[in-house]
Amino acid sequence: METVVSNTTAQNIVQDFLPLQGTDYVEFYVGNAKQAAHFYKTAFGFQSLAYAGPETGMKDRASYAVRQNKLTFVFTTPLRSGNTMADHVYQHGDGVKMLALKVDNATDAWQQTTGRGAKSYSEPVSMKDDFGELIMSGIHTYGETIHLFIERKNYNGVFMPGYRKWESHYNPSETGLLYVDHCVGNVGWNQMNPWVKFYEEVMGFRNILTFDDNDISTEYSALMSKVMSNGNGFVKFPINEPAEGKKKSQVEEYLDYYDGEGCQHVALATNNIVQTVTDLQNRGIEFLKVPTSYYDELIDRVGQIEEDINPLKELGILVDRDEEGYLLQIFTKPVEDRPTLFFEIIQRKGAKSFGKGNFKALFEAIEREQELRGNL
Ligand code: FE2
């Protein structure tokens, strides 16, 4: 039988109607932006970049932008109650609000996506200051999460209009984090495929990998996942939904505590995972641990790797291999009190996949944590 390629898929292959240059920044809505920024500087090695608040004309909020290599995080907090930003923090706790994508033309990005059915968050807006013009637009995605399109080719200020340079006498060293590798969304029961369709049809992404509940199921809990990638592969959004298991899925626990769909983890790339994770651990970041027996069969499973096994074992770094190479990865525990957002640290050595061979060991580690919280 012939393979049938749908019109939409064929069209996406020939022309990328939404060319993305990568992740521009990730903005978190938090209860206390000053302290959050301090934590990300201290624990993750981000550097002070820019500040916006009442002193810069932003009356309703305070925002702190921090940077490390190509990674830019923004922490924003409302200054008063009774507005959508304050309600967001009340409902969801600290979490990812904006996944901002860098584009050459934010007006075209908005027209292309809203023309294909995206719900507009913001029409293209021109923002100007002494350093030029930045154009921003935005659309809604899962939950209350937003994709902003950022066009900064005519802007050379430190971050964006409305912000001033943030200079601090406290500048902890970097930890070797380089860029966003991927951002994972957790969506509700039976919502994975509708969101896959959204990324295909509205944003021109392709489904590059699929994991069903046979791939991702432990004795108790399960999830399903599809990895969506844009045309040039710079932006990858895996989408998870819970699956039925003997006990509560980790995705369900997230949905309960985030009180809705949202970003589950952001994967941060490094070129030296042993050094980065050693550094992060010394600064107080807590990682999920797999049993040391994981390392007994490691070489049989993944073959020879360049790294020594002992430091990997000590730190709890996981390894997986695909047809193109291997990858090393590790996951933090949630970085706030709600069991919601966490980070992945990843080093790719050729592999373009997501560590399927680690799912079982990893999810058993997550379940042990869920059990401690009484949520399994
Ligand atoms: Fe991941």
Residue 344 CA to ligand 1 center (angstroms) comes to 6
Cα(290) to centroid of ligand 1, in Å?
16
Kindly give the distance from the C-alpha atom of residue 329 to the centroid of ligand 1, in angstroms, as a whole number.
9
- Amino acid identity of residue 219, one-letter, is E
The CA 4 to ligand 1 mean position distance, Å, reads 30
Give every CB contact of residue 66 below 8 A, 6+ residues apart in sequence. Answer: 37, 40, 41, 46, 47, 48, 49, 72, 73, 74, 75
- State pLDDT tens for residues 228-275: 999 999 999 999 999 888 788 899 999 999 999 999 999 999 999 999
Report how far residue 331's alpha carbon sits from residue 21's, in angstroms, rounded to the nearest whole number. 26
Ligand 1 centroid to 60 CA: how many Å? 34
- How many whole angstroms separate alpha carbon 203 and alpha carbon 321? 29
For residue 171, what are its two tokens? 């500048």
Q: Could you tell me if 120 and 97 are in contact, meaning their C-beta atoms sit under 8 angstroms apart?
A: no
Q: How far is the CA of 52 from the centre of ligand 1 (A)?
A: 31
Dist. CA 226 → ligand 1 center (Å): 12
Per-residue pLDDT, 1: 34
Compute the distance from residue 5 Cα to the ligand 1 centre, in Å. Answer: 28
For the CA atoms of 319, 320, 324, 325, the dihedral, rounded to the nearest 10 degrees, stands at: 20
Closest listed residue to residue 254, CA positions, set 266, 242, 236: 242
What does the alpha-carbon distance between residue 314 and residue 256 come to, in Å, rounded to a whole number?
A: 33
Separation of 267 CA from ligand 1 center, angstroms? 6
Which helix (H) or strand (E) segment holds residue 23: the answer is strand 22-29
The tens digit of pLDDT for each residue in 9-43 reads 555 556 799 999 999 999 999 999 999 999 999 99
Q: How far is CA 224 from the centre of its chain?
A: 17
Which residue in this structure is represented by tokens 């525990």?
A: 333
Residue owning tokens 């807590």: 286
Treating both helix axes as pointing N-terminal to C-terminal, what angle do 359-372 and 250-258 enclose, rounded to 10 degrees? Answer: 50
Domains of the chain: 13-165 (3.10.180.10), 177-373 (3.10.180.10)
> How would you write the pLDDT of the chain (376 residues) with one tens digit per residue?
334 444 455 555 567 999 999 999 999 999 999 999 999 999 999 999 999 999 999 999 999 999 999 999 999 999 999 999 999 999 999 999 999 999 999 999 999 999 999 999 999 999 999 999 999 999 999 999 999 999 999 999 999 999 999 999 999 999 999 999 999 999 999 999 999 999 999 999 999 999 887 776 666 668 899 999 999 999 999 999 998 887 888 999 999 999 999 999 999 999 999 999 999 999 999 999 988 899 998 999 999 999 999 999 999 999 999 999 999 999 999 999 999 999 999 999 999 999 888 888 888 888 889 989 998 8
